Amino acid sequence: MAVGVQVGRQTRVGMSGNEAVAYAVKQSNVDVVAAYPITPQTIIVERIAEYVNNGELNAACVAVESEHSALSACIGASLTGARVFTATSSQGLALMWEILWIASAMRTPIVMALANRALSAPINIHCSHDDAYAVRDAGWIQFFAEDVQEAYDLTIQAFRIAEDERVLFPVIVNLDGFILSHGVEALYVLDDESVNAFLPPRKPINTIDVEKPMTYGPLVLYDYYMEFKRAQAEAFNNSYPAILGILQEYSKLSGRNYAPIKTYGMEDAEAALVVLGSSAGTARFVARRLREQGKKVGVVSLTLYRPFPRDELARVLRRVKSVVVMDRSYSFGSPGAQLFMDVASALYDEKERPLLVNAVYGLGGRDFTAEQAEMAFRIALETARSGEVKERQVWLGVR
């Protein structure tokens, strides 16, 4: 039972993002947690270990010797039918990379909290979205939390989504390193009964069973490999309605609205920003100020990053005159940074579509300030006014 102010069936508490994720994992009654320490994620697994060692959570904590082994152990555990969780950041996710693809293809519904951190070199422990972007093609569903509340809510939803028979894919919940992982915020947590009702014990299929032996992870050559991948692709794409349904169900339960994208001011916006993660709040704060000055600006933030909410995004962006896509990462040699490329290709088929600018910002934990957000909006407004893209990619907040 969380200590805080009781509001209906929920409790208002103060927690960091890491603590909120750990609390959500505890309420989700997870069976196996295999993880390896890495800043800024470590506190998640520390808290879970405390829950287990104090008898508040009946789970196995496998304190493995690397992230590679963490995800390997998660796959083995998930195949037994257990509910499985791991957490990592940056280099840890990079070390898992090989196994991420296997987790998806073997349809193991593992949930991972990813406290986003910049990839080395130079080594840095603060927020970039390099890690999440680098695994976007691996067949994991990915959510981005905007605040601690969402980190908590999305973790609970992630288990339900991952384990749903219409989905059966692993899920990453992204939370911006330090900004959310260590930032303490007020949030509402559900009571255990509500979580149990929303997230009953996993009903696994095709689990490891000596009585019904099966072969998991066979060699598949050119005679079947494409059919395997096609089946996986169809399953991944078909999971979309199930994801939407579960987000809606949780919205009703919690009174907090969850959908693939969130919009602000988009009903009449001529210039907009597209953002991921904790920057959404800053962007909306500045947008509100600009709108008070009569500027028609808006903000679109993505809660769901994979599968990419292409149709929703195209619908809200196609009539906007200019959009600045904000990337907390850089893709060397690409036509733009990662989110920019997604947004551009999502809009390509639209008859009407906005002029696009890509802004690279906030790398390695560089503060995303209101001034930077305002600069981005000014670029969008100027592009909308002139009907011309001056610079396709800009860097904000760099010396």
- Distance of alpha carbon 98 from its chain centroid, rounded? 20
Is 205 a residue that touches other proteins (CB under 8 A)?
A: no
216 near other proteins, rule: CB under 8 A: yes
Candidate ranges 126-134, 208-216, 269-277, 338-346; the one touching other proteins (CB under 8 A): 208-216
CB 48 within 8 A of CB 25: yes
In whole angstroms, the minimum distance from the beta carbon of 95 to other proteins comes to 11
Using CB under 8 A as the binding rule, whether residue 65 contacts other proteins is answered as: yes
Q: Is 186 a residue that touches other proteins (CB under 8 A)?
A: no
Query: Cβ distance 230 to 236 under 8 Å?
Result: no
- Could you tell me the smallest distance in angstroms from the CB atom of residue 88 to other proteins? 14
How far apart are the C-alpha atoms of 129 and 114, rounded to whole Å?
A: 10
Q: Least distance in Å: CB of 33 to other proteins?
A: 9
Give the three-state DSSP class for 275: strand
With a CB cutoff of 8 Å and minimum separation 6, the contacts of 110 are 71, 74, 75, 78, 84, 85, 86, 103, 162, 170, 171
- H/E stretch holding 55 reads none
- Residue 235 or 242 with smaller CB distance to other proteins: 235
Question: How many residues make contact with other proteins (CB under 8 A)?
Answer: 43
93 binds other proteins (CB under 8 A): no
Which C-beta is closer to other proteins: that of 77 or that of 172? 77
Near other proteins by CB under 8 A: residue from 3, 121, 205, 214: 214
65 vs 44: CA distance, rounded Å: 17
Specify burial of residue 319 (Cβ count, 10 A radius: 0-12, 13-18, 19+): middle
Kindly state whether residue 242 participates in binding other proteins, applying the rule CB under 8 A. Answer: no
Shortest Cβ distance from residue 76 to other proteins (Å)?
3
* Residue 349 neighbours by CB under 8 Å, 6+ apart: 314
- 134-151 exposure pattern, b = at least 16 Cβ within 10 A, e = fewer: bbbebbbbbbbbbbbbbb
Q: For other proteins, which residue of 13, 26, 28, 31 counts as binding (CB under 8 A)?
A: 31
Q: Is 60 in the site for other proteins (CB under 8 A)?
A: yes
Rg (CA), the chain: 21
Query: What is the C-alpha to C-alpha distance for residues 72 and 341, in angstroms, rounded to an integer?
Result: 31
Cα distances from 193 to residues 101, 189, 284, in angstroms, run 34, 12, 34
> Among 157-165, 204-212, 341-349, 360-368, which window interacts with other proteins (CB under 8 A)?
204-212
> Which residue, 1 or 210, has its beta carbon nearer to other proteins?
210
Q: Which one, of 71, 50, 3, 59, lies nearest residue 29 by Cα?
A: 59
User: Judged by CB under 8 A, which of 64, 235, 244, 344 binds other proteins?
Assistant: 64
The span from the CA of 16 to the CA of 329, in Å, is: 24
Concatenated DSSP letters of 162-195: HHSTTT---EEEEEETTTTTT-EEEEEEE-HHHH
> Does residue 243 belong to the site contacting other proteins (CB under 8 A)?
no
Q: How many CA atoms lie within 13 A of 223 on its CB side?
A: 1
Which position among 32, 253, 300, 384 is part of the footprint of other proteins (CB under 8 A)?
Answer: 32
Q: How far is the CB of 68 from other proteins (least distance, A)?
A: 6
Binding range to other proteins, per CB under 8 A, among 58-66, 115-123, 150-158, 349-357: 58-66
Q: Output 49 or 244, the one with its CB closest to other proteins.
A: 49
Q: Does residue 171 bind other proteins (CB under 8 A)?
A: no
139 touches other proteins (CB under 8 A): no
By CB under 8 A, residue 98 contacts other proteins: yes
DSSP letter assigned to residue 57: S
Q: Can you name the residues that pair with 367 across neighbouring β-strands?
A: none
Give the x/- contact pattern for other proteins in 68-87, rule: CB under 8 A: xxx-xxxxxxxxxxx-x---
Closest approach of other proteins to the CB of residue 225, in Å: 9
Complex with other proteins: residue 106 or 259, whichever CB lies closer: 106
Nearest distance, CB of residue 96 and other proteins, angstroms: 10
- The site for other proteins (CB under 8 A) is made up of 31-32, 34, 58-60, 62-66, 68-70, 72-82, 84, 98-99, 102, 106, 208-210, 213-221, 224
